[in-house]
C-alpha cells in the first residue's frame, strides 16, 4: 500500500512511498483511510523524532475493510472515525476497536477526520471539569482546532462559555457563532470568577486562568503552545477567601478510557449539524508539504485535512 513515509532526505521530511500493509492484532480492525487531519504535535515534534521509513498519523476517517478477529468493533463496510498512536497517514491502518467510532453514512470524511484528537480532547477535558451545566467555563486559545471544539462542546453542555483569543477584533463574531457568551483577550479580563477552564496555550494564560477560578474550580492544562514556563506569583495557591480547592491538572487523551463511544457521539453531532468542524486547509495527501507549512506558520484557525484516493 502507499503511505506518507518519514524521509529526512526530502524537504518536508515526508514522501508518499510503498510500505507493507499493517497486520491487525486480534482486537484491531483494518481501516481503509479516506481522510486524515494533521495535528501540531505530529508535525512539530513526532515528525522530527520518528525513525526513517515509519508511518505516523493519529487521526483518520475511513471505512472498515476487515472487522477485528475477536468480534469486537464494527463490521466491514462501516464508515468510521479512528484514533491511534501512528499509522493514520496511509491507505490502510490497523486500529484498536476501542479507539474506533462509527459514523452516520454520508458524513463527509474530511469533517470526520478532524475529530479524533481535537474534538475528543476537547470533550474529555470538559468532562474532567465535572458538571458544567449552568457553570462559567473559560476556553483559552479558543480559535485553534481544539479550541473551536471546546467552545462548541462547552456550549452544548449548557455552560456559560467565555472564549479567550489574542485577537478579539477578528474572531469575536465567529466565536459567538460557535456558542461563546463572551469573548475576552484573556482570563485577566474576566469580570467574575470561572468554575473551570480549558487552557490550550499554557504559560501566562494557564496562570491567569488559575487565578480566576472559583472555589472548587479546575484548569485542565491541555495545550502548551506558549512554550514557556508557568510562573505563579506568591499567593496564587492560597486557599482562603473563597480560594479553597482550586486545581490545575495535566491531561493526555490516551490516558483516558473508553474513547470509542465518544468518537461515535462526536461523529453523530457533526452529522446532525450540532458540531461544526473548522477545516482551514484541505487538499490531496500529495500536498502534505503545503499543509504542514501552513500548520506550522500558525496561520490556520482550524484544522488541515489530507484526502486520500
Number of residues that this document lists for the chain: 309
- 174-203 residues in contact with its own copies (CB under 8 A) are 202-203
- 268-287 residues in contact with its own copies (CB under 8 A) are 269
Q: How many residues bind its own copies (CB under 8 A)?
A: 52
Tell me the backbone φ, ψ of residue 280, rounded to 5 degrees.
Answer: -95, -15
Site membership for its own copies, residue 59 (CB under 8 A): no
Stretch that binds its own copies, among 4-12, 16-24, 54-62, 130-138 (CB under 8 A): 130-138
Binds its own copies (CB under 8 A): choice among 9, 106, 234, 273:
234
Q: Other C-beta atoms within 10 Å of 77: how many?
A: 10
Binds its own copies (CB under 8 A): choice among 56, 198, 221, 279:
221
Query: Closer to its own copies at the Cβ: 185 or 249?
Result: 249
Cα dist from 298 to 2, 43, 60, 185, 225, whole Å: 29, 12, 22, 18, 10
For residue 76, the minimal CB distance to its own copies (Å) is 23
Query: Closer to its own copies at the Cβ: 186 or 217?
Result: 217
Q: Which residues of 46-68 are buried (b: 16+ CB within 10 A; e: fewer)?
A: bbeebeeeebbbbbbbbbbbebb
CA dist 153 and 123 (Å) reads 7
Query: Closer to its own copies at the Cβ: 11 or 71?
Result: 71
User: How do strand 279-284 and strand 59-66 relate by DSSP bridges?
Assistant: unpaired
CA dist 13 and 15 (Å) reads 7
Site pattern 132..161 for its own copies (x: CB under 8 A): xxx------------------x--xxx---
- Residue recorded with cell 491538572: 249
Site membership for its own copies, residue 23 (CB under 8 A): no
Site membership for its own copies, residue 84 (CB under 8 A): no
Binds its own copies (CB under 8 A): choice among 21, 108, 230, 290:
230
Site membership for its own copies, residue 104 (CB under 8 A): no
CA dist 301 and 280 (Å) reads 6
Binds its own copies (CB under 8 A): choice among 38, 123, 270, 305:
123
- CB under 8 Å, gap of 24 or more: what pairs does 74-82 form? 74/29, 74/100, 74/102, 78/102, 79/103, 79/104, 79/105, 79/107, 79/109, 79/112, 80/29, 80/31, 81/112, 81/113, 81/115, 81/116, 81/263, 81/264, 81/266, 81/267, 82/31, 82/116, 82/263
Query: Closer to its own copies at the Cβ: 32 or 136?
Result: 136
Stretch that binds its own copies, among 58-66, 162-170, 176-184, 239-247 (CB under 8 A): 239-247
Binds its own copies (CB under 8 A): choice among 249, 272, 286, 296:
249
Q: Where along the sequence are the contacts to its own copies (CB under 8 A)?
A: 123, 126-134, 153, 156-158, 202-203, 206, 215, 218, 221, 224, 227-240, 243-252, 254-256, 262, 265-266, 269
Amino acid at each position: 500500500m502507499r503511505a506518507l513515509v518519514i524521509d529526512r532526505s526530502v524537504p518536508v521530511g515526508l514522501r508518499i512511498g510503498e510500505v507493507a500493509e499493517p497486520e491487525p492484532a486480534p482486537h484491531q480492525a483494518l481501516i481503509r483511510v479516506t481522510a486524515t487531519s494533521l495535528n501540531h504535535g505530529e508535525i512539530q515534534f513526532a515528525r522530527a523524532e520518528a525513525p526513517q521509513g515509519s508511518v505516523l498519523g493519529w487521526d483518520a476517517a475511513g471505512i472498515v475493510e476487515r472487522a477485528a478477529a475477536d468480534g469486537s468493533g464494527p463490521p466491514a463496510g462501516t464508515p468510521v472515525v479512528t484514533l491511534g498512536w501512528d499509522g493514520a497517514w496511509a491507505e490502510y491502518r490497523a486500529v484498536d476497536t476501542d479507539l474506533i467510532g462509527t459514523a452516520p453514512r454520508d458524513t463527509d470524511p474530511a469533517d470526520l477526520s478532524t475529530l479524533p484528537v481535537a474534538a475528543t480532547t476537547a470533550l474529555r477535558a470538559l468532562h474532567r471539569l465535572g458538571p458544567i451545566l449552568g457553570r462559567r467555563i473559560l476556553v483559552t486559545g479558543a480559535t485553534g482546532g481544539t479550541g473551536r471544539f471546546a467552545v462548541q462542546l462547552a456550549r452544548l453542555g449548557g455552560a456559560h462559555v467565555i472564549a479567550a483569543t489574542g485577537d478579539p477584533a477578528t474572531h469575536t463574531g465567529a466565536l459567538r457563532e460557535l456558542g461563546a457568551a463572551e469573548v475576552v483577550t484573556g482570563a485577566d479580563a474576566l469580570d467574575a470568577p470561572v468554575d473551570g477552564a480549558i487552557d490550550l496555550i499554557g504559560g501566562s494564560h494557564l496562570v491567569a486562568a488559575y487565578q480566576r477560578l472559583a472555589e472548587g474550580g479546575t484548569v485542565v492544562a491541555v495545550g502548551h503552545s506558549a512554550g514557556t514556563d508557568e510562573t505563579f506569583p506568591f499567593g496564587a495557591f492560597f486557599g482562603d477567601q473563597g480560594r479553597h480547592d482550586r486545581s490545575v491538572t495535566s491531561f493526555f487523551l490516551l490516558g483516558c478510557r473508553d474513547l470509542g463511544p465518544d468518537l461515535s457521539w462526536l461523529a453523530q453531532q457533526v452529522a446532525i449539524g450540532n458540531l461544526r468542524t473548522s477545516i482551514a486547509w484541505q487538499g490531496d495527501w500529495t500536498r502534505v508539504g503545503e499543509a504542514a507549512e501552513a500548520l506550522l506558520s500558525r496561520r490556520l484557525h482550524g484544522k488541515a485535512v489530507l484526502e486520500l484516493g
